[in-house]
Structure 1
Amino acid sequence: MSPAKRQSTQLATADLDNPLYYLENMETVLGWVQSHHGDLLTAEELDRLASFHTLSMPARALLTRMVMRTGDLFRSDKLKYPELGVPEARALDEIMEAGWLDTDPLLSLDELFRLFTLGELRPAMEPLLKAAGEPANLPKGRMRDALLLRFPDPLIVADWLGQHARPVIRLKTMALFDRMRLMFFGNLRQSWSDFVLVELGHQQYEPVTFTPDSRAFQYRSEVDLYLAMHQCREWLDQGVLAHEVWQAVPAPSDNAWLTSRRDRLLLELGRQAERQGERKLALEAFASSGHREARLKQLRLLERMKRHQEAWAIASEWQNQELSDAEAQGLARILKRLASRLGEIPPPPPEQPLIREITFTLPKPEVGSVEYAVRDHLYRDEAPVLYVENTLINGLFGLLCWQTIFAPVPGAFFHPFHVGPADLTREDFVSRRKGSFEQCFARLADGSYRERILANYRAKQGTTNPFVIWPVITEELLSLALDCLPPADLERLFRRLLLNIREHRSGFPDLIRFLPNAAEPDKRYEMIEVKGPGDRLQDHQIRWLEFFAVEGIPASVCYVRWQASEAME
């Protein structure tokens, strides 16, 4: 691969003033996939994509509109796009002649009822309803139910509604476009319309180096594996019985991020199996899943099945591993219950650290929140107080570890328009970058962290990062934070953040008070969680505050009472 191919190309995005911008963006997507994943496409698929580009612009635009819509069936009389510049029928004829469409598709009764209105259906259905002993004036839903068992087989629209029915067409290559969409987005959750119409080019994105090694899919079989797992998940969502879906779950893969997706699929399959009374299958699914929630689900199910000894053995082994707060909390509760039933000695409850509390009685402001009232009350020129909540610590982490976050790890980036890595909240996010994160922490130890944070702040200004909220991270805030927060405290905070990014990047205190003139370097700041009258701490906030107390990080909870309320009492 040439150096030009190895580098991330900042693809040109369409001008939204162009009425055919969606076509331009679609062509950008198709070109990207062919350039970076062309070896994963068959010769037939490449030929079909090449034929897309031979169509006239109106035909390509109409075909793009069809791809972007839901489903693969369309009524040709409903395709109305004046920006094509030619009659829709002319563009449609060209698409038909090029072999993209089935012009006389078989329709199930469900498909027929989705495409046609009650007024269009009733004349043709009246004789069928009378033959079934049903009244002719049934509403649409009841009409469908009455005919479904009598007409299980699909028919062409003329056989359903007569020769004068409005024509229906089916796009024959939707599976190819789904495959292209998957290789571009790295998921099938995002639709073409989400991206082609809205997202492209609206933000400034971090350039990421794309190499063959960094691709999410190295083999066509991996794309097939993803599609098979996606089908299993759709079946579960549609209510297909878990034991039927279980037979179709693909075997494990060596691909780490596909393994993570399979773990989530097995977690959901286990949940549905349990709801459907298939407890044995649920246990097998939970045990086969590496998802962090699966083991707690497995233990709770074993409890309900009164297999306490088995649950105790699993839980006892698990408690010696590194756990997130939520896992540790759930496991401690299970061990306590199991110990009681088995006559075992439960593990000692974790010591509850003392959380510092203060109370202020303040005049209730006419406008503004309780957090701003406390901020204004505490603010001094020599000790500024800022409302930062989850933005400051996350922002400092994002600036220090920017290059690690955007490293071209397989399964992390699929195209140049990612806000952050696709595997950010997966369980192997840190382990796949462990060496690089340790280099970031080494900067905290040797003092070079400040230079790295400031350099990234200047160089990356406005570029999207899942941890950095640019309007909040001002130069004033950054300067105060770097002057007042000891690097040892930053390392403690960042390491806990990485234990479970999904859980731990929220729950930080509302305010931070800086004390730049304090004699002791580790006493130059304090984080303050504010609670107004009637408000209480949330679980994730308590866990952070307990962590601060254990680690000696200055933090407190400020409870506020309003003066008027106190006078009334």
Structure 2
Amino acid sequence: MNGRITTASLDDPLYYLANFETVVHWVATHHGDLLTYDERTRLDRLQSLSQAARALLVRLVMRSGELFRLSKLNYPELGVPESEALDELAADGWTEDDPELAIDELFRLLTVAECRHALAPILADCGLPRAASKKAMLTDCLELAPAPRRFTDWWPDTDDRLVALHHMALFDRIRLMFFGNLRQSWSDFVLVELGHHQYETVPFTPDSRAFQQREAVDRYLLMQACRDRLEGGEPPADIWPDIPARDDSNPWLESRRGRLLMELGRQADRQGDAELALAAWSDSGHREARLRHLRLLERQGRHQEAWDIALSAQAEPRGDGEAQGLERLMRRLARKVDQAPPERPKRPSIPEMHLTLPQPAAASVEWAVLQDLDSEQTPVCYVENTLINGLFGLLCWPALFAPLPGAFFHPFHIAPADLHREDFVSRRQALFDDCLAALDSDEYKDRIRRTWGEKHGITSAFVAWPALSEPVLELALHCIPAADLKLIFQRLLRDLRDHRSGLPDLIRFHPEQARYDLIEVKGPGDRLQDHQIRWLEFCLAHDIAVSVCYVRWQEAD
């Protein structure tokens, strides 16, 4: 499978058409077996349209909704009147002229003045004053419950034209199969010049695809429809029966189902439907769902039930955050169920430094501390999460960009699609073991330098190139021992979603002693977050020099 895609230059006024057709061709070529005969036939018909009609179709697909007024379409790059392109689209079944629409759809298309003019007879029946707001007009009109009508029946004397876009479900399916999600819009690809970015070249095979069966695409689309209904304000209880049953054969889709159930439970809880919230969270594999489930049981006074579940969960927590939450919860519950509270873990004392500095006009508190501590002998860099993640990304580049099934399914990934799945590391265990084994000798320095040179500028979720200049890289390789990097990288791999953040803000290098220390900066009123505390305690437990710098601003004269 060829992983190359050529994208159009922004100098081409129809660049969006070229990019759109690139996506359609990619999906038709590499996912054709997941399309029905009718869908493939419909896509083949695209090329029979004129360039202007195809370009207008793309513009409509990228816009919000599926109803469009001709008066609102203004695309001079088509080279022909929009009405002419619409005629061609309608003749080939891509659009429908003068469609039926409900009154609330009509209100979304018209201005206040147009509503008053078009709906004058209905508004008169409602007894509304002429100065009534659009919202008031719609509310009263909905009470009359008029049946859907064609646009020209709602507004007989209009000189405008309304069209409905057809086959949007097909374009959503194509977008899903290309991106592997519906979070990214057509504009994420069609309206950018991707040549401005470099992407790692990963070999493609049929196994690389996000979906292997049409049923998986259908399952995703069903869950997305449920999420759209939830975000649209539909009661969670009405959506709950339509959520597909658990299916552990596809961990990726099951994780999406877990997120949907997590959100449905959250909405149900807010609306006072505790039993539905408990059911949703109990069925969700989301890392936060179990803790929310337990806290709701606690609020309901079901202490023994919560204790029993928490006791079981404590054996296999879903990450450090849940482990910490379970400890706090069980400490509260222990008194209610007459049990001994869990032993409070011994926490190290985190070293502190205190600075009183003049408050800068624009710079952040981190930069103020950096400027105070920085010297020629001990250079200080503001790195936060970028340095450690960058070194990890460079050393483990072969593992991160390994062409595993379902990891890279189009040429524009900045990270594997399964990066946050529970089996991400286990699927690549041998590759990560090989990368980290390089830390047992000086080989890791050569690997990191070589990757920095060969891959420089290639977009990566781990490597922020502007923050990882060659001087900073060399200081890090000189001052940070391989043993420290190995410990830190191993912790990253235990939970890449959570552990990539929370690292200290500053690193102070001591080149003459080939050592370093990490500094977390807190301004007035700021306090340490849980994930930051976990990193600080980890460093102290492994003799990695770390401290928290608390800053006060000097009082103005």
Match of 2:549 among 554, 558, 561: 558
The partner residue of 2:238 within 227, 241, 244 is: 244
TM-score, normalised via structure 1 length:
0.92
Pick from 518, 528, 544 the counterpart of residue 527 of structure 1: 518
1:64 alignment partner in structure 2: 58
Asked whether the equivalents of residues 527 and 554 of structure 1 are also in contact (C-alpha less than 8 Å), the reply is yes
Aligned residue runs from structure 1 range 99-138, under 5 A: 99-138=93-132
Compute the displacement of 1:233 (Å): 0.5
- For the 8 Å contact 2:287–2:318, the answer to whether it is kept is no
* TM-score w.r.t. length of structure 2: 0.94
- Is 1:487 aligned with 2:478? no
Deviation at 1:466, TM superposition (A): 0.8
1:547 aligns with 2:538: yes
The CA distance in 1 between the partners of 2:204 and 2:520, in whole Å, is 42
Structure 2 CA distance for partners of 1:150 and 1:47, relative to 1, 3 Å: same
The amino acid across from 1:204 in the alignment is Q
Please say if 1:47 is aligned against 2:41: yes
| AA matched with 2:519 | I
Q: Deviations over 1:386-422 (max 9, x none)?
A: 2222211011011111122222344433321122233
Mapped pair 1:81 → 2:75: yes
Residue 306 of structure 1 pairs with residue 297 of structure 2: no
1:376: Cα distance to partner? 4.4
**What SS is found at the alignment partner of 1:430?**
helix
Larger deviation: 163-172 or 259-268?
163-172
Report which stretch shifted further, 210-219 or 384-393. 384-393
Distance change (3 Å), C-alpha of 1:201 and 1:252: farther
Q: Mean Cα displacement is larger for which, 526-535 or 466-475? A: 526-535
- The equivalent residue for 2:153 is 159
Q: Which moved more, 1:428-437 or 1:196-205?
A: 428-437
* Aligned partner of 2:140 among 139, 146, 153: 146
Q: Distance in 1 between matches of 2:106 and 2:84?
A: 25
For residues 71 and 545 of structure 2, what CA distance do their matches in structure 1 show? 68
Residue type of the alignment partner of 2:435: C
> 1:169, 1:478 → 2: CA distance?
57
Of the three residues 200, 203, 206, the one matched with 2:197 is: 203
Instruction: Give the 3 Å change call, closer, same or farther, for CA 261–411 of structure 1 in structure 2.
Output: farther
Q: After TM superposition, list the pairs within 5 Å mapping 1:16-55 onto structure 2.
A: 16-55=10-49
Q: 1:370 Cα deviation (Å)?
A: 4.6
What is the distance in 2 between the residues matched to 1:380 and 1:165?
Answer: 73
Residue 170 of structure 2 corresponds to residue 176 of structure 1 = yes
Percent of paired sites with the same residue: 57
| Shift in Å, 1:241 | 1.7
The 8 Å contact of residues 262 and 284 in structure 2, kept in 1 or not, is answered as: yes
**1:448 maps to amino acid:** E
- Structure 2 Cα separation of the partners of residues 372 and 137 of structure 1: 55
For the aligned residue pairs, the C-alpha RMSD in angstroms reads 2.3
Distance of 2:440 and 2:317 partners within structure 1: 24
Bigger mean CA offset, 101-110 vs 259-268: 101-110
Task: Confirm whether residue 467 of structure 1 aligns to residue 462 of structure 2.
Answer: yes
Query: 1:304 Cα deviation (Å)?
Result: 1.8
What residue number does 2:290 align with?
Answer: 295
Distance 1:94 1:547 in 2: 65
Q: Offset at 1:378?
A: 4.0
Counterpart in the other structure of 1:455: 450
Question: Which residue number in structure 2 is paired with residue 261 of structure 1?
Answer: 256
Superposed CA deviations along residues 522-564 of structure 1, whole A, max 9, x for unmatched, are x7111122344554433332222111111211112233456x5
- SS of 2:521's equivalent in the other structure is strand
Distance 1:516 1:131, change over 3 A: closer
CA distance in 1, matches of 2:358, 2:153: 77
Contact 1:158–1:165 (Cα < 8 Å) also in 2: no
Deviations 1:124-180 (A, max 9, x none): 422222234444553322111111132343111122122645221111111111111
Query: Gapped runs of 5+ residues in structure 1?
Result: none
Q: Could you tell me how far 1:461 is from its partner in structure 2?
A: 0.5
Shift of the 157–476 alpha-carbon distance from structure 1 to 2, 3 Å rule, reads: same
CA contact (8 A) 2:9 2:193 kept: no
Partner Cα separation in structure 1 for residue 380 and residue 129 of structure 2: 74
Which digits, 9 at most, give the CA deviation of each residue in 1:400-451, with x for residues without a partner?
1112222234443332112223333344433443333233222223543222
CA distance in 2, matches of 1:376, 1:62: 54
- 1:356 to 2:351 alignment: yes
- Distance in 2, matches of 1:359 and 1:275, equals 42
Choose 454-463 or 96-105, whichever is displaced more: 96-105
Classify 1:72/1:533 alpha carbon distance in 2 versus 1 (closer, same or farther; 3 Å). Answer: closer
Aligned equivalents of 2:71 and 2:200: distance in 1? Answer: 44
Judged with a 3 Å threshold, the aligned counterparts in structure 2 of structure 1 residues 536 and 303 are, in CA distance, closer, same or farther, namely closer
- Distance in 1 (CA, whole Å) between partners of 2:74 and 2:379 is 59
Q: Does the alignment pair 1:406 with 2:401?
A: yes
Deviations 1:208-244 (A, max 9, x none): 2221112110011111000000001111112222222
Give the aligned partner of residue 277 of structure 2: 282
User: Structure 2 vs 1, CA of residues 334 and 159 (structure 1 numbering), >3 Å: closer, same or farther?
Assistant: same
- The equivalent of 2:436 in structure 1 is 441
Q: Structure 1 CA distance, aligned partners of 2:365 and 2:158?
A: 68
* In structure 2, C-alpha distance between the alignment counterparts of 1:330 and 1:258, rounded to whole Å: 27
Residues 494-503 or 283-292, more deviating: 494-503
User: What amino acid maps onto 1:43 in structure 2?
Assistant: Y
Pair 250,483 (structure 1): closer, same or farther in 2 beyond 3 Å: same
Change (3 A) 1:56 1:320: same
Give the CA deviation at 1:491: 1.8
- Deviates further, 357-366 or 74-83: 357-366
The 3-state SS of whatever aligns with 2:331 is helix
Task: Give the whole-Å Cα distance in 2 for the aligned partners of 1:533 and 1:105.
Answer: 60
For 1:443 and 1:322, how far apart are their aligned partners in 2? 31
Amino acid at match of 1:347: P
CA contact (8 A) 1:513 1:527 kept: yes
Change (3 A) 1:241 1:447: same
| SS, match of residue 353 in structure 2 | strand
**Residues 150 and 531 of structure 1, relative CA distance in 2, 3 Å threshold:** closer
